[in-house]
């Protein structure tokens, strides 16, 4: 019997890991699967006593603060993997953590095949990580075809699965979405997507909330809707208890794509939701801020593109989607842009057209990413 162990630490990786589990079981029903992850994996019966919630951080300084726990959790994960004795281990996203797990398995049980699913962004920062990964794992399943040349000099086999957000998504219904949030078709609707990590709820969400409040003050007829990621919903609700006075919070059971499709404009924290919004033909802006030391290092030495939003990078590093990042991350600036766009249907239509062109470059409509990843993982057995 084939045995597969899957490791995922953050919400996006956990979501993809859950989809990969489904695809592996579909391809090989008798496969035995174990793993370390979060809610999506647990919902499929793959549970572990190891708590990875502390690993949902971003940025150099933030990461250093939890480094000791990263090492401890990597050690615990390696122990669990060794005890399970799998044929192959799939390490999903979370570069720093999964690399440490891989290094421990490579040292202690070199016979176990290792597959990295979602590689480090070598096309944007630290191309030297390609060599590090090639010396640690047996196969890479990456998102972009442009990543492949970085690994060719080191002989690491690479499979391109495309963007999981594009293959998992579907076109939502504006009518259903409006019904779910109680907004009439006659009203303008501003959707706010405040993040998927606890650190983003602390550092990014407050400014997005203030920007939305400024829009509501300037355009009282605009309906404001907040849709936090399920992984941080409780954090968000606890942090912003007075939102119900002037805005609507989506229900936990609301269809996220329907809600997205129902918006006229959106304020989004940087992340996977940007591609998902584009799929729903919704124009939006991106807001983000990280620690200043992290930002300084990224801008000065590490990050090559001028933009952080994948749609913009795909569009030859041009600003298809307005970005308000770090020094530009201002509630007033974002509110003014949102008001400008809500007042101009033509401007919104123009942005959607540009977003669609960027999506086509990213591989919209391709084969299912999780199925491609699952086939690559099973091929290593």
Separation CA 206–CA 209 (nearest Å): 5
Structure confidence at residue 297 (pLDDT): 45
| Lowest-pLDDT range of 9-23, 104-118, 198-212, 302-316 | 302-316
Number of domains in the chain: 2
Q: Are residues 277 and 215 in the same domain?
A: yes
Nearest to 270, CA basis, from 327, 197, 210: 197
Q: Are residues 82 and 111 in the same domain?
A: yes
CB atoms within 10 A of CB 263: 28
Query: Does residue 249 register a pLDDT over 80?
Result: yes
Separation CA 55–CA 139 (nearest Å): 24
Rounded mean pLDDT, 154-181: 92
In terms of pLDDT, which residue wins out, 318 or 146? 318
Q: Are residues 132 and 184 in the same domain?
A: no
Structure confidence at residue 115 (pLDDT): 98
Q: Are residues 133 and 226 in the same domain?
A: no
* CATH number, residue 256: 3.40.50.2000
Q: Are residues 217 and 186 in the same domain?
A: yes
Rounded mean pLDDT, 182-206: 95
Q: Are residues 250 and 341 in the same domain?
A: yes
Planar angle of CA 114, 303, 144, nearest 5 degrees: 45
Separation CA 28–CA 375 (nearest Å): 10
Q: Are residues 175 and 259 in the same domain?
A: yes
Q: Are 50 and 73 in contact (CB under 8 A)?
A: yes
Query: Does residue 166 register a pLDDT over 90?
Result: no
What's the mean pLDDT when you consider all of the chain?
90
Q: What are phi and psi of 54, to 5 degrees?
A: -70, -15
Q: Are residues 140 and 180 in the same domain?
A: no
| Tokens encoding 364 | 């919209």
Structure confidence at residue 63 (pLDDT): 52
Range picked from 4-13, 146-155, 372-381 for highest mean pLDDT: 372-381
Residue 365 DSSP label: T
Q: Are residues 110 and 189 in the same domain?
A: no
Q: Are residues 138 and 182 in the same domain?
A: no
| Lowest-pLDDT range of 17-21, 165-169, 253-257 | 165-169
Structure confidence at residue 359 (pLDDT): 86
> What order of strands is seen across the sheet that includes strand 88-92?
32-36, 3-8, 88-92, 113-117, 139-142, 158-160
Structure confidence at residue 295 (pLDDT): 45
Q: Are residues 90 and 221 in the same domain?
A: no
Q: Are residues 336 and 375 in the same domain?
A: no
Structure confidence at residue 130 (pLDDT): 94
In terms of pLDDT, which residue wins out, 98 or 127? 98
Q: What is the pTM for the complete model shown?
A: 0.68
Query: Confidence class of residue 363 from pLDDT cuts 50, 70 and 90?
Result: low
DSSP per-residue codes, 69-131? HHHHHHHHHHHHHHHH--SEEEEES-HHHHHHHHHHHHHH-TTSEEEEES---TTTS-TTHHH
Percentage of residues of the chain with pLDDT beyond 90: 71
Structure confidence at residue 366 (pLDDT): 62
| Lowest-pLDDT range of 247-251, 305-309, 355-359 | 305-309
Query: Does residue 241 register a pLDDT over 90?
Result: yes
Alpha-helix runs per DSSP H in the chain:
11-27, 39-43, 60-65, 67-84, 95-108, 129-134, 148-151, 164-168, 174-181, 198-203, 205-218, 233-239, 256-261, 273-279, 292-297, 310-314, 331-342, 345-362, 369-379
Range picked from 215-219, 271-275, 299-303, 327-331 for highest mean pLDDT: 215-219
Rounded mean pLDDT, 143-164: 91
For residue 199, the enclosing domain spans: 170-362
Percentage of residues of the chain with pLDDT beyond 70: 91
Structure confidence at residue 59 (pLDDT): 47
């Amino acid at each position: 019997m084939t045995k597969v162990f899957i490791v995922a630490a953050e919400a996006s990786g956990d979501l993809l890991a859950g989809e990969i589990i489904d695809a592996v079981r579909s391809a090989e029903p008798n496969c035995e699967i174990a793993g370390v992850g979060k809610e999506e994996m647990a919902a499929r019966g793959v549970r572990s006593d190891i708590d990875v919630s502390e690993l949902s951080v971003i940025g150099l300084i933030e990461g250093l603060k939890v480094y000791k726990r990263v090492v401890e959790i990597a050690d615990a994960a390696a122990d669990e993997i060794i005890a399970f004795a799998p044929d192959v281990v799939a390490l999903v996203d979370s570069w720093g953590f999964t690399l440490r797990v891989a290094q421990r398995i490579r040292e202690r049980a070199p016979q176990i095949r290792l597959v990295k699913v979602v590689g480090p962004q070598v096309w944007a920062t630290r191309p030297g990580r390609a060599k590090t990964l090639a010396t640690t794992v047996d196969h890479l399943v990456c998102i972009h075809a442009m990543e492949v040349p970085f690994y060719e000099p080191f002989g690491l086999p690479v499979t391109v699965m495309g963007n999981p957000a594009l293959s998992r998504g579907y076109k939502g219904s504006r009518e259903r979405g409006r019904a779910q949030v109680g907004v009439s078709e006659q009203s303008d609707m501003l959707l706010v997507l405040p993040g998927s990590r606890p650190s983003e709820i602390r550092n990014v969400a407050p400014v997005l909330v203030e920007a939305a409040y400024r829009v509501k003050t300037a355009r009282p007829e605009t309906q404001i809707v907040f849709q936090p990621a399920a992984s941080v919903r409780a954090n968000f609700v606890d942090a912003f208890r007075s939102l119900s006075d002037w805005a609507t919070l989506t229900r936990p059971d609301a269809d996220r794509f329907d809600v997205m499709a129902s918006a006229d404009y959106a304020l989004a924290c940087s992340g996977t939701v940007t591609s998902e919004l584009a799929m729903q033909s919704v124009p939006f802006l991106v807001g983000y801020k990280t620690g200043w030391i992290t930002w300084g290092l990224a801008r000065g030495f590490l990050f090559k593109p001028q933009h952080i939003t994948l749609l913009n990078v795909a569009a030859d590093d041009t600003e298809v989607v307005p970005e308000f990042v770090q020094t530009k991350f201002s509630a007033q600036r974002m509110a003014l842009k949102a008001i400008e766009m809500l007042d101009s249907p033509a401007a919104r239509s123009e942005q959607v057209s540009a977003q669609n062109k960027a999506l086509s470059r990213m591989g919209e409509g391709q084969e299912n990413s999780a199925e491609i990843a699952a086939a690559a993982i099973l091929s290593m057995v």
